[in-house]
Amino acid sequence: MRNVGVTLSLFLGANSLSVVMYANTTNDAYKPKTHVLKANSETVRWGNIGKGDPALTVHSGDIVTVEAITHHSGDDYERMIKGDAGVEDIFHWIEGEKNEALRGPGVHIMTGPIAVEGAEPGDVLEVKILDMKLRPNGNDQYAGKTYGVNAAANWGYLYGDMVEEPKKREVVTIYEMDTEGGTDYATAVYNYKWSAQTDPDGQVHPTIDYPGVIVDHNTIDKNFDVLKGVKIPVRLHFGTMGVAPKEADVVDSVPPSYNGGNVDDWRITEGATMYYPVSVAGALLSIGDPHAGQGDSEINGTAIETSVTGDIQVILHKKASLNNKLKGLNFPLLENENEWVVHGFSYANYLEELGASAQTDIFKNSSIDKAMKDAAHKTKDFLMAGMELSEDEAYSLMSVSADFGITQVVDGNWGVHALIDKGQFGDSERKPVVLRSSFENFGAKVGWQPATKTVTLSYNGNVLEMKVGATTGIYNGETVKLAAPISVVNGKIVVSEYFVNFYKAKLAKTE
């Protein structure tokens, strides 16, 4: 460690006279197929995450570039719909002519479903989120910007419990972001109080009660003096993602459940992996409700609802080969470099527990107490099965190190999550592996620049550059946040197995 440059040069096999040296490899190439699933009226469903004909069928290991559109685009037509052919197609609605005529029973625009070959009940579907990018608006007047909506809506936690009059009011705030990521924050542009809107079929909407209504801006008063000087961190994530449940054919997209759906956890972002229990043939994965920013609880009704394009990889784990963490999985489980995240709800499976009228009754029966109890039991069970702890050990650990938080209180089936730090288990949960051999094993080239202590990974036309200790890297010329910094241990560059599996997939994507 007295001379990190020399030590790493020896380890990486770099010639100190060369700026970059790539290793030759004869290993079989890793080439998952890449699909593109665009969002339009033919590839989305509005408000339904149940069974249905797939918009795309893939194999385990395949990568999908998927477009996800916010159902709140109509709150500012000029900034969020105009000029974008896909979004215009989805929202098209004039008198007597309405694309996506079936809007319900929920509200979210869900791209898919995506069927996975060979998926059967009892299996587990792994979904890696490899990349997320803001969707540019289509209006040249606002070039380079993406817009999002926060609605303090009638389903918000404090609706009717405000101090200022009118106490029952809905307020829409429009946020602006840099499409290319030149800034990592959102700023408020203006807000307005919702006024009764008349849709093209003549139906009046006194509140935000139906998806896809285009707000007539001649009927609202805009307040541009809002959140001046405040910069909201952009945390892109999918608010609603999950597989189809077995209990019903048509399923409201609003309440989350064991199959995922509208979990609304901002940690479901680039670098994270979700695990979903499969209960129907093909799994039928749906993706939508993209967000640019949200706090735990999503208290006033929504996040910053925006449109996003993401890259995901789907991996099927068959029932017979599940490890202890995934065996018997009955909830949406999140993993990232540093944590496991367990998701609990007021009802673990509300469709089964509440019976025939479950999809309406759930909105009258939510409880944080029930969600906390559900999350606690799931966390205890996960620690016992996955970490092989006794019940007393698990219960103690939950109290002294697990962080329980309120995921959301606005989606009918309220949520509580538990964060379990991998680091407390040592190498068993963050197993260190040697960077060079791990990436060369699937055909990647590894380069080393001693002067800048930079490692370069090249594969399938993609290039990732990372400096030792840095939290960001350069991927195909763009700055990206790394899942974790690369580090030096005993003279060798090491990363975690999670790091390798994530960037193996990201590097394999075909443009």
Tell me the pLDDT tens digit for each residue of 118-177.
999 999 999 999 999 999 999 999 999 999 999 999 999 999 999 999 999 999 999 999
More confident residue, 102 or 9: 102
Residues 17 and 39 in one domain: no
| Residue 400 located in a structural domain | no
Find where tokens 């999670």 sit.
Answer: 498
| Residue 365 located in a structural domain | no
Q: What is the mean pLDDT of residues 302-313?
A: 98
Residues 82 and 127 in one domain: yes
Domain hosting 278: range is: 34-323
When divided into structural domains, the chain yields a total of 2
Using CA atoms, how far apart are residues 93 and 86, in angstroms rounded to an integer?
14
Q: What is the mean pLDDT of residues 188-195?
A: 98
pLDDT of 11 reads 44
Residues 142 and 17 in one domain: no
Q: Is the pLDDT of residue 5 over 50?
A: no
| Residue 202 located in a structural domain | yes
Assess contact for 473 and 47: CB atoms under 8 A. no
Tell me the pLDDT tens digit for each residue of 350-397.
999 999 999 999 999 999 999 999 999 999 999 999 999 999 999 999
Residues 26 and 39 in one domain: no
Assess contact for 253 and 107: CB atoms under 8 A. yes
| % of the chain surpassing 70 pLDDT | 95
Which candidate, 315, 298, 388, places its Cα nearest to that of 130? 315
Residues 9 and 53 in one domain: no
Dihedral pair phi/psi, residue 305, rounded to 5°: -80, 120
Using CA atoms, how far apart are residues 162 and 148, in angstroms rounded to an integer?
24
| Residue 197 located in a structural domain | yes
511 band by pLDDT with thresholds 50, 70 and 90: confident
225 burial level (CB within 10 Å; 0-12, 13-18, 19+) = exposed
Q: Which of 281, 300, 323 is the last residue of a domain?
A: 323
Q: Which of 323, 341, 367 is the last residue of a domain?
A: 323
| Residue 458 located in a structural domain | yes
Residues 20 and 69 in one domain: no
Q: Is the pLDDT of residue 222 over 70?
A: yes
Measured CA to CA in angstroms, residue 486 lies from 80, 134, 153, 404, 421 at distances of 39, 27, 44, 29, 19
| Residue 382 located in a structural domain | no
pLDDT of 479 reads 93
Retrieve residue 484's tokens: 């974790």
Bridge partner residues of 134 (DSSP): 308
Q: Is the pLDDT of residue 475 over 80?
A: yes
pLDDT of 100 reads 84
Dihedral pair phi/psi, residue 120, rounded to 5°: -135, 160
183 band by pLDDT with thresholds 50, 70 and 90: confident
Which candidate, 184, 175, 155, places its Cα nearest to that of 75? 175
Using CA atoms, how far apart are residues 396 and 495, in angstroms rounded to an integer?
30
Q: Is the pLDDT of residue 27 over 50?
A: no
Residues 175 and 224 in one domain: yes
29 burial level (CB within 10 Å; 0-12, 13-18, 19+) = exposed
Tell me the pLDDT tens digit for each residue of 425-437.
999 999 999 999 9
Which candidate, 142, 179, 165, 414, places its Cα nearest to that of 292? 179
Retrieve residue 25's tokens: 């490899």
Residues 209 and 241 in one domain: yes
CATH number where 446 lies = 3.30.457.10
| Residue 380 located in a structural domain | no
Torsion-angle region of 491 (φ positive above 0: left; ψ -120 to 50: alpha; else: beta): left
pLDDT of 189 reads 98
Residues 214 and 201 in one domain: yes
| Residue 137 located in a structural domain | yes
Q: What is the pLDDT of the chain when averaged over all its residues?
A: 94
pTM here is 0.94
CATH number where 191 lies = 2.60.120.580
Q: Is the pLDDT of residue 264 over 90?
A: yes
More confident residue, 302 or 27: 302
Residues 270 and 285 in one domain: yes
Q: Which of 307, 323, 339 is the last residue of a domain?
A: 323
pLDDT of 28 reads 57
pLDDT of 490 reads 87
Using CA atoms, how far apart are residues 363 and 155, in angstroms rounded to an integer?
10
Residues 16 and 72 in one domain: no
Residues 15 and 82 in one domain: no
Q: Is the pLDDT of residue 17 over 50?
A: no
Tell me the pLDDT tens digit for each residue of 196-220.
999 999 999 999 999 999 999 999 9
Biggest alpha carbon–alpha carbon distance for the chain: 76
